[in-house]
Amino acid sequence: MKIELKKLVLDRPGGIRAVDGISCVFDSDACSAMAVLGVNGAGKSTLLESIPGLVPIRSGAILVNGLNVEPKNLTAIRRQIGMIFQNSDDQLFSQTVREDVAFGPRNLKLPPDEVRDRVRSALEQMNVSRLAERDVTRLSGGEKRRVALAGVLAMRPAAILLDEPTSMLDPRACRELAEHLNELPTLKIIATHDLTFAKRACPECLILQTGKIIAQGKTAELLDRHDLLLSCGLE
Ligand SMILES: Nc1ncnc2c1ncn2[C@@H]1O[C@H](COP(=O)(O)OP(=O)(O)O)[C@@H](O)[C@H]1O
Ligand SMILES: [Mg+2]
């Protein structure tokens, strides 16, 4: 899976330039997990949301396995990309955990047996099988996050975009989430300002500041550079 951003410019309502000419490549053959780091307002969410076509492109281009992100390709592109939003409450809406995880595969019009198998394996993978019959609104933050991820995994996407996945998680849940993600061979792009989590889950990272990439490279190396972290407000 390969996602390419070419001189990408994205504006938010009110003319705010959230992403200001970014070029980069996310390629699962080169690096299976890339962190997108930056302080609040740096443009991380806007960047992530633009990949499945949720933010209009002002100029430049996004290519998903060679397909241009534009209206006529969005169905094909969204089939390959799963997104975990910052707030899991925006993502979970069925009555039970099982129903919620089944929603995506059913939407793909898969046969019922296949839906059942995928739901079972996604619940197992995220370690939430015991929650299958629970009400999604009555789960802890960490449980909701894992259920949301199970719902995305059940779609078998080629890439997963995660927006601030550790917000609302306690330290142990953060560590477990990083371990779960490390076991997934799928391409992951993870927006976060949680540097400990980024080090655990992402071998490489890029750092955004006011919509521009100011540094890119190995996470362990970049996050050792205190001058850099200070200058971009990450420490
Ligand atoms: N829905 C929106 N309407 C208007 N401006 C927005 C909206 N979402 C984000 N922005 C603005 O776009 C810029 C980038 O925000 P965002 O992508 O959310 O950054 P991050 O995820 O790094 O905190 C900020 O200046 C923010 O205020
Ligand atoms: Mg954000």
DSSP readout, 108-134?
A: TT--HHHHHHHHHHHHHHTT-GGGTTS
Lowest average pLDDT, out of 87-96, 147-156, 175-184, goes to: 87-96
Interatomic CA distance for residues 60 and 89, integer angstroms = 32
Ligand nearest to the CA of 42: 1
Q: How far is CA 23 from CA 61, 142, 204, in A?
A: 9, 33, 16
Cα torsion 1, 103, 119, 163 to 10°: value is 50
Ligand nearest to the CA of 165: 2
Interatomic CA distance for residues 21 and 17, integer angstroms = 10
pLDDT in tens, 39-50: 999 999 999 999
- pTM for the complete prediction? 0.95
What pLDDT score does 207 carry?
98
- Nearest-CA neighbor of 59 among 22, 25, 26? 22
| DSSP string for residues in 215-226 | EEEEHHHHTT-H
**CA-closest residue to ligand 1 atom 24:** 41
What pLDDT score does 228 carry?
95
Place of tokens 């190396």: 221
The residues spanned by each domain of the chain are: 2-231
pLDDT in tens, 113-155: 999 999 999 999 888 999 999 999 999 888 998 999 999 999 9
Pocket test of ligand 1: the residue of 11, 16, 22 to mutate, having most ligand atoms within 8 Å of its CB, is 16
Q: At what angle do helices 112-125 and 97-107 cross, to 10 degrees?
A: 130
Lowest average pLDDT, out of 57-61, 64-68, 137-141, goes to: 137-141
Residues with CB under 6 A from ligand 1: 12-14, 16, 18, 38, 40-46
**CA-closest residue to ligand 1 atom 10:** 12
Query: What are phi and psi for residue 38, nearest 5 degrees?
Result: 160, 155
Position 89 pLDDT exceeds 90: no
First to last CA, the chain: 33
Interatomic CA distance for residues 207 and 138, integer angstroms = 35
pLDDT in tens, 163-175: 999 987 889 889 9
Amino acid at 153: L
In the numeric block, which tokens belong to residue 156? Answer: 């078998």
Name the CATH superfamily housing domain 2-231.
P-loop containing nucleotide triphosphate hydrolases (3.40.50.300)
